[in-house]
Each structure stands twice: as C-alpha cells, then as structure tokens.
Amino acid sequence: METGKVEVKVKELPEQKKIKLVEIKGALDALTVVDVEKELNPLIEEGNYILIDCSKVSYINTSGLVMLMKYQIKAKRRKGAFKIFSPNKNIYEIMDISGALKLLEVYKTQQEAIGSLKI
C-alpha cells in the first residue's frame, strides 16, 4: 500500500462537453486529497457532470471518502452530477463498511455511470 501519491487526469467526452471524465491513480488520503481537489474545484464550479474513474485507486482512507462525499453534495447543489465508477473490490468494501455508499453514487462501469445521468 503506497500512500501519498496520486495522479489526476481530466478528459472531456467529445459527444458531451459537460461530461468530465476524471481518472484518479494512486492513493486518496490526507496527503493527496488537496491535489485532487485542485483538479475538481473548477469542474464543480462550472456545474459539470463529473465521472470519477476509481479503477486505479490503490488506497482510500477517511480523508479520501470525505472528499468524495463533499463533492457529491457540491455537485447536487450546482445542478451537476458526481458519479464514481469501477472501484476495485477493496475500495468498494471500504466505501460500504464506512457507510459512504449511502451518499455516493457508485457504478460498476463508465457506461452505467453515463447512463444514470439526467442530461
């Protein structure tokens, strides 16, 4: 388990400019949430539909979970969306055990997350 490192890539879906695909690679912990927030803040402010690809998230703790839940709430307030997809088994279990799944919208695939959008 390597903490303290994260990469964030933002892509725009060509057919829908308001849909932003955000790939997170690495750990979501107290050392990395600030870096992720720097990428997410402008996207949230613009009222975009944000899809978070968690397939390459290797570790998450309460700092990461709180950050995800915070952006879920912010997106709803701005009439946007914040969807998470493809978490690995361990990340999903942590989301489940912590109770975060009661607030977060988590999908198995990118297609399911896109299909759930009300555009």
> Which CATH number belongs to the domain containing residue 108 in this structure?
3.30.750.24
Q: What is the pLDDT of residue 3?
A: 59
Would you say residue 108 lies in a domain?
Answer: yes
Would you say residue 25 lies in a domain?
Answer: yes
Would you say residue 1 lies in a domain?
Answer: no
Tell me the β-bridge partners of 85. 53, 107
Residue-number span of the structural domain to which 103 is assigned: 6-115
Q: What is the pLDDT of residue 13?
A: 85
Strand order of the β-sheet with 16-28 is 6-13, 16-28, 49-60, 81-85, 106-107
Q: What is the pLDDT of residue 118?
A: 86
Would you say residue 63 lies in a domain?
Answer: yes
Q: What is the pLDDT of residue 2?
A: 56
Would you say residue 100 lies in a domain?
Answer: yes
Nearest to 6, CA basis, from 47, 63, 48, 72: 63
**pLDDT digits (tens), the chain, 119 positions:** 555 789 999 999 888 889 999 999 999 999 999 999 999 999 998 888 999 999 999 999 999 999 999 999 999 999 999 999 999 999 999 999 999 999 999 999 999 999 999 87
Q: What is the pLDDT of residue 119?
A: 76
Number of domains in the chain: 1
Pair type for strands 106-107 and 49-60: unpaired
Would you say residue 41 lies in a domain?
Answer: yes
Tokens 């989301």 label which residue?
A: 95
Q: Is the pTM of this model over 0.85?
A: yes
Q: What is the pLDDT of residue 37?
A: 96
